[in-house]
Amino acid sequence: MYCDNEEQKRELAQRRAAELKARIEDYLRVRPLIPDGFSGWENILRRQEKIKKFFRAGDKEWYDWRWQVRSRIEDVETLTALLALPPEKVEEIRKVGEVYRWAVSPYFLSLMDPENPSCPIMRQSLPSLPELLDNEGTEDPMAEELTSPAPAITRRYPDRLTINVTNQCAMYCRHCQRRRNINKPDQITPQSHLQAALDYIREHEEIRDVLLTGGDAFMLSDEQIDWLLTELDGIEHVEIKRLGTRTLATLPMRVTDRLCSVLEKHFPVYVNTQFNHPLEITPEVEKACKKLSRAGVALGNQAVLLAGVNDDAHVMKKLNQYLLKVLIRPYYIFHAKAVKGTAHFRTRVEVGIEIMEKLRGYTSGLAIPTYIINAPGGYGKIPMLPQYLVSKDRDKVKIRTWENRILDYDNHE
């Protein structure tokens, strides 16, 4: 369309702007109703004071990440003293806890809203009866134990691999892909296994990218993280190091000045986080992310699509927008894996694709992660994308825009 009249141009532009705003009116209406850790911060602080009083702890203990780990809530007696739960829920937690381990950091507990029976924080962290009713899943759906060519290593790709450095976490997610490991006592991977993993990397020059994961890589001490990164720095063909951690959501006080000083020494370092709901993003998280960013650490989020938590396009959009506000780039949305005990979290694939349809064009490209299915048997990540290429012939392709407009596009060399 061509127009040489300035007044008409402005009128057309204003009409288009109104049309674009109308596209997100539904989101603008519901956005204030989706809880987040900033708007709910005053309530969270009140709950923190109650938890501190119970443990006879002050700010010194509260902001000590090791105290938080030592003080994890992992029995129903302590939980019910801190959180008002109906008797039937308490009995569920007790019953499931006999089979599957659970634990929640005091900080993450403070994010729970006991007046909301659908609280996304409780759903992710407190056991529920459906865990015992799942007969569909398997303990190791990604065949990690069959893709481990050396101790502690998982290798599914030509140029990268992971080292599982611990089975410990600050909070044990009910949707965890490695539930088979968390029932064991908390332990750091033996030094001999870590050394064997490093030797394997040295012997395979095609490995350029190493991810330290677990469990949670930030459950290692600063000294242990420093040692591993120093060893990887000494391997010439390793170009980047990544650390997988959920502590930014569950234990942001783990990000100390000392940890940042360690990470800063080993540039380039990437940290993969996992935030699944905007309620997890708080001023404490913002503080931790700023520290990491000042240390030159790049942050990316790997959310998991979870029924009853974030299987809603508006919730996922707000999550991704809030992640960008605290300097975390949305990277992946993982389709929940078929892990035994987690069937109640899984959605249909169409749900994830519909969410992606409601992100592309409706928010900035920075806020759009890739929706991923992990192939069974350890065959890697497969992107699930809406179909934007409608058809093609020799000289043209027919494409679909985010608004469902069908257009012809020249396809000449």
The per-residue pLDDT for 117 is 83
Band of residue 143 on the pLDDT scale cut at 50, 70, 90: low
Q: Are 323 and 275 in contact (CB under 8 A)?
A: yes
Residue 96 to residue 181: CA distance in whole angstroms: 16
Question: Closest Cα to residue 101, out of 213, 181, 220, 189?
Answer: 181
CB 409 within 8 A of CB 397: yes
How far apart CA 186 and CA 168 sit, in angstroms, is 5
pLDDT digits (tens, 9 = 90+) for 269-324: 999 999 999 999 999 999 999 999 999 999 999 999 999 999 999 999 999 999 99
Domains in the chain, CATH or no CATH each = 41-127 (no CATH), 144-383 (3.20.20.70)
Return the pLDDT at 110: 98
- pLDDT score for 33: 96
Confidence of residue 1 (pLDDT cuts 50, 70, 90): low
Residue 2: per-residue pLDDT? 58
pLDDT in tens, 251-275: 999 999 999 999 999 999 999 999 9
Are 307 and 134 a contacting pair, CB within 8 Å? Answer: no
Q: Place 169 in a pLDDT band, splitting at 50, 70 and 90.
A: very high
Residue with tokens 């065959």: 379
Which stretch, 138-152, 332-346, 353-367, has highest mean pLDDT? Answer: 353-367
pTM: 0.94
The average confidence (pLDDT) of the chain is 94
8-17, 36-45, 340-349: least confident range: 8-17
Instruction: Say whether 164 sits in a helix, a strand or coil.
Output: strand
